[in-house]
Every structure is written in structure tokens, then in C-alpha cells.
Amino acid sequence: MITPPSLHRHLRSWHERMERGTISAVTTVRHPPAGFPDEPRIIGLITLDGGSSVIGRIAGISPRIGDRVVPRMSMERVNEQKLRAYDVVYEVAAPAALQEDPFVFEGYILALTGPSGVGKSTVSKVLSSALSGIVTRVPILTTREPKDGDDGEYLYVTREEFIRLEDAGALAASTRIPSVSEDRRYGYRTEDICKIWNEGRVPLVVTEMHLLQGLARSFGRRSILSCGLLPPGTSRRAMLSQLLHRLRTRGRDSEQSIADRVRNASSDLDFFSHRKELFDHLLVNDDIDAVIATLKGHVLRTQEDTR
């Protein structure tokens, strides 16, 4: 029975967990309890800004002691009745000691970030063709199944191979996109990006919030020309409606997959306002010719500035 005092304690505990904090300790659980996804989970002891400490999952890029984290809600598991269970997870916001970046700055990465359905793949394909002498698309490593409409941008690997590469430190950035229909992991290999730099060209990547942060962590924020792509719309609801329409129109995903993508897109839209420092430019993708022209200008100006 829920009583006023117990409800008050629950709400107070929930409020505390939604505070920002600092990682005090971190470990990786290789064999999660029954009912959770069968994958390694990074667990940290978080000292919250209010003075209390909590233990919680840390999502996204590899965390370190001293990193600042921000809370967000995440779908953690699906039970036997197919009901989704959500909990607070913590995401690295300000990595400690970025000056320890072991990489020598070779050039920069052009990153296109946005939710599913916003047109990242189409824009990257057209832009790489328009700037064929400058830009090269970096292959995306993924565990998802091939789909009609894929255009050679993916390298398909097993879940086990993906985790092996993560554990070996071979991925510059990686993420797992929540889905109840398939295992969807994405990442970029460090060697693929460095190879393009060694050829004197600009690596072009498509990302979401975790991949962008992972690249910034691996190579440094200054090495990324970061462009966010937004769907048209004057309100959040209108933008999500546009994404839903585009996902259904392209005919590549099941209704369950579309529902997953739209749900995740809501968090992606929040990311643009919560992490403004990770973006150089934000573009509304309602006219692809205008978007390509604008991106070409940004790339050419950056090329001049880095010579």
C-alpha cells in the first residue's frame, strides 16, 4: 500500500537521482542479471551535486573517474510481458583530463548528427559526391541486419565481433540504440578514420548523441566540424511527426522499428539544446539542395582555415 510518507520518500529519492554528479568509481559487469540485455554494462558510483551517492549505469562513451555526468531516462529492459522498464542512467557530460588525448591532430572529421529519418545518410551521400575530391564517407560498423535501401555505408558484423572490437579499444566511438526488435549497435573504427586522414581527405561520419560524444572523446572536440540536422517543424510535435512520415515513406523499417526510432528521436532532439557546445552549426533539412550548399561552404572554409 502506498502511503503519503512512502510516496514522499520515493519522490525525494527520484529527484536526487536526477541530479548531475561526478564519477567516483567505475566497473564493467560482464554478465548482467536475468532480464537485462545480455551485454557488458558499465556501472559507476556517482557522487551527486547534492552530496549523496548513488550507483547507476553509465551510458555512451567510456567513462573515467572524475568525469561529470548528467542523468537521463532510458529503457533498460523488456520483461516477459513485453512491458518496458525505464530507469535513470548517467551520461558523461564533461570528460576529465581531455588534454591527455593520445592522438596527434591530423585534420578534422565532418560529423552529421540527427535523429533517424532526418536524412543523414542521404545528405552524406550527396555531399560526398559533390565534394568527391575532399570528403570520404567512413564505413559504419553495425550489428543490425542488412535492409533494402542500405547503400554500402555499413559493415555488418556479429554482436560478438562488435563487443570484441570495443574491448580491444579499436572503436573510436560506439553505441547501442534501444530496440525491442533487434540488436542495434553502431560504431566507427579508429583505423578507418586515420586511413582517410593519411590520404589527405576529410572523414565524413553520420552520428547520434553517443557516437558524437565518443568521437569528441577520442579525437578532441576541436577535430570535429559538427553539424546537426533537424527536421522541419515549428514545434517538437511537428518535428516528430515529420520524422514519422519520412520513416514510413522510405519503407525500410517495420512498424515496431519505426516506433523505436521515433521514441529515440525524442531524446535526440533534446540533445541539440542540452549539449549546444558539441555543435558548430544546426541546419533544418527541409531543402536538401540548400543544406548541401551550406555544408559545402562550411567544409571549404574549414579547409582554408586549417591550411
Residue 101 pLDDT: 45
Report residues of the chain scoring pLDDT below 70: 1-18, 32-39, 60-62, 75-86, 94-106, 180, 306-307
Residue 190 near residue 246 (C-beta atoms within 8 A): no
Pairing of strands 154-156, 202-207: unpaired
Describe the chain by its helix, strand, coil percentages, rounded to 5. 40, 30, 35
CATH topology of domain 17-97: OB fold (Dihydrolipoamide Acetyltransferase, E2P) (2.40.50)
Please report where in the chains the cell 558484423 appears, as a residue: 157
According to DSSP, residue 139 is labeled P
Q: CATH 3.40.50.300 spans which residues of the chain?
A: 101-305
Contact between 179 and 103 (Cβ < 8 Å): no
Which part of the chain has CATH 2.40.50.840?
17-97
Annotation: CATH topology of 101-305: Rossmann fold (3.40.50)
pLDDT at 32: 65
Whether pTM > 0.85 for this model: the answer is: no
- Count helices and strands in the chain by DSSP H and E runs: 8, 14
Residue 250 to residue 117: CA distance in whole angstroms:
9
The radius of gyration computed from the CA coordinates of the chain, to the nearest angstrom, equals 20
